[in-house]
Amino acid sequence: MEHIQVSLIMGSISDWETMKKAAQVLDEFGVSYEKKVVSAHRTPDLMFDHAEKARERGIKVIIAGAGGAAHLPGMVAAKTTLPVIGVPIKSRVLSGIDSLYSIVQMPGGVPVMTMAIGDSGATNAGLSAVRILALENSELNKKLVAFAEKQSKLAEESSHDLI
C-alpha cells in the first residue's frame, strides 16, 4: 500500500461539502490522501500534533479548509515546514470573505498558499497539491500534461460553438 501523500483537513464536518472537490481531484490523479476534521478552535492540541507529526508520517502537502475566523491553515503552517494550501470556505454570514482575509493575511515567514473561496478554491488546492507532488514524480507530471491538454481542447471546442 502506498503511503499517504496529502493530508486533507478541515475545521468542521460541514466543510466537507467544499473540500470534497479537492478529494475528487486527488482521486482523479491517483494521489493518496487522508481526510480529517481538525479544528483550530475546538481541538487545538490535536491540530498541533497533526501538523507537527505530518512529515514523519510521510505527508508531503497539507490542504486545510476553514471557514469563519479560518485559523486552521495558518496555525498548521506555523507548526510544520510542509507546504500548506489554504481553502477559504464560503460562510453564511460573510460569504467567505472573512475566511479569505484570515488565510491570505499570514505574516511574513509563515506561508500559506491561499486559494479562491469555495468549490473552485478546493479544486485548485487539489491541483496545486498534484503539481507539487509532480515535481518529483514523472508519471504524475504526465497525467498533468494530459489534463492540461484536455482542458485546452474542451475550451477550444466550446469557443468554436460560439463563432
Annotated binding residues for substrate, written as ranges, equal 12, 15, 42
Name the residue with cell 478541515: 10
- From the list 50, 48, 71, the residue with the least C-alpha distance to 4 is 50
Q: What are phi and psi of 22, to 5 degrees?
A: -65, -40
- From the list 43, 36, 109, 39, the residue with the least C-alpha distance to 69 is 39
- From the list 44, 42, 45, 26, the residue with the least C-alpha distance to 34 is 26
Residue 78 CB partners (closer than 8 Å, separation 6+): 51, 110
Q: What are phi and psi of 43, to 5 degrees?
A: -135, 60
Task: Tell me the binding residues.
Answer: 12, 15, 42
